Structure 1
């Protein structure tokens, strides 16, 4: 009986990982279509100068979504909350695809929503994965899980990269619907094999903010997420300013954006499958946390001295490659030893609200830089990420120094 139960458990774990990989694949494949399409449609109806104001509007919508999610998660359970998110996204994509040309305000809604829903999708996926994974397994499994997601992103980026001009940007949004229907099936199958069942989070728990206040690990995760998103958003705006000037035609801009993301996803895939695992193996988990801000800090220095379109595109590609690979894998590993309620509620606050609301804070920097003369803007924008990466390095040093001291003290007490 013990052997049969072990075989059954092993088979269940393999199926769980398979459906988790498929879920990540469908999320990134869909987002690789929606992201460049929504960005290009926004620029067609508005202007890059309105980006900061769109980011500011993200904050109240973000707060509303996370509040709704945390409040009703216990009542509805994982799967029903997931279905609400999926059908809301499919509805917005379909409506925008049909009516955005006649109602340009929908471009605003699409641009704002695409930044919120994708993080909510990943939050719901990874919260379940964390409940099934130990830190030892995470060191090699998480890279594979992110790698399969990277394959989905490459496949998805083919759509805008090669069909935007032929089909029209708005029509690409309809292709996201079948991907999410497949996603529903994969997510349901994963939950069935998660061990906790479909109602794993129905117990009463504290709010996400309360959990963050009482945990040093969650505070550290919150800080590095905000720092990463602040710097990414500033570089995104800088890149978009050059992009709009270089490619004024909507469909050509969508095509370039799609192909650039295809290249980013290819490099990201290599880091997800191989580099992160080797990084943790050779440097250790703690030292690996200094690699991302260290590399990006050096990259920011180079950007200050050469703010051209080619180099800005390169810098933007590098930070996006690291954001969706090494950074996210290491960040997700920090959640593994935490409590279940922290993996669901606190994670929703950090990975959805803080992740995207950081764009609102970055918009204040962008608007402030707009007060400078136009010839100074390319130079001025580069100083933001430079300062943020320096702060990140300092925060990581202080956190892991204190954590090492606490671990040593705990070990001494146990031996005593």
Structure 2
């Protein structure tokens, strides 16, 4: 049987676990969250992504109960949560600093919330052992937090947050304290744990790679507003604005004047250059537009390709070598610099192109996306 795709946001019958309805949060004159509405579904791994000060942490703190909305409502499982104090919500939060109790063992840190809820000792013991297994730190139960590594402390914090089986787990920049290799490994473990427990995870991050790896959907935020809420592949391939295109991954953005030609648009963008042919993200009127194209979709060659509409010539200005990839910065006669990326599929002593080389850049009519300016 084919695996069913998890897309409750496309199912009109699915009830959201979390509903923000016209939520605004002001601190004095500053609007941190601006008339925001969004649905998050059960079992989602949902990422709030954006630069510092975009409102993502304020959204999370309102879910946790540390802040109350200035206006609007937040529903959890169909219930307005604003009158419910933080410790009575079926929501747990894992802080960036992990906030472990240094004087308690790993075991007692995980048991802390369960003891406060006065669960019978045998139930507490069974649950703590289950959590230690889940995050793979059974060997460290009797150690104190300072006797284990940062990555292990992070697992203890996760186990403690999940011990009470919350409906919703909030993670605030959960992996920012880990080094890159450990962060990548932990991302996959988090996804695995989220799948095993079926808990809804909402993660706040400014690390786009992290959001794109772990999330079922990503909400890109700016100045308290949602710019786009979509699956990672859609956010990357079909951004709805230059802000989103520019925020996620590497991108070339060329401004020009677009003229509709059936399904495509011809964009006049530089004196003496043929128009760029691009595909609009939605039906658009003629006018000023931005053309966004990812560097890996721009081909670089020594000879002019004969089979493409979009061909420009320039000079190699800079080369960034990243092991598996090389990014060429190519300056066009108009002064615009376009990045083209090639995969280094085999070990080479020399690169095919070097600084100052004249090269041709080309791409297909559907490789880039035309956006409103």
TM-score normalised per structure 1: 0.20
Q: Which has the higher helix share?
A: 1
Q: Which has the higher strand share?
A: 2
Structure number with the bigger relative contact order (C-alpha 8 A, sep ≥ 6) is 1
Q: Which has the larger radius of gyration?
A: 2
TM-score normalised per structure 2: 0.22
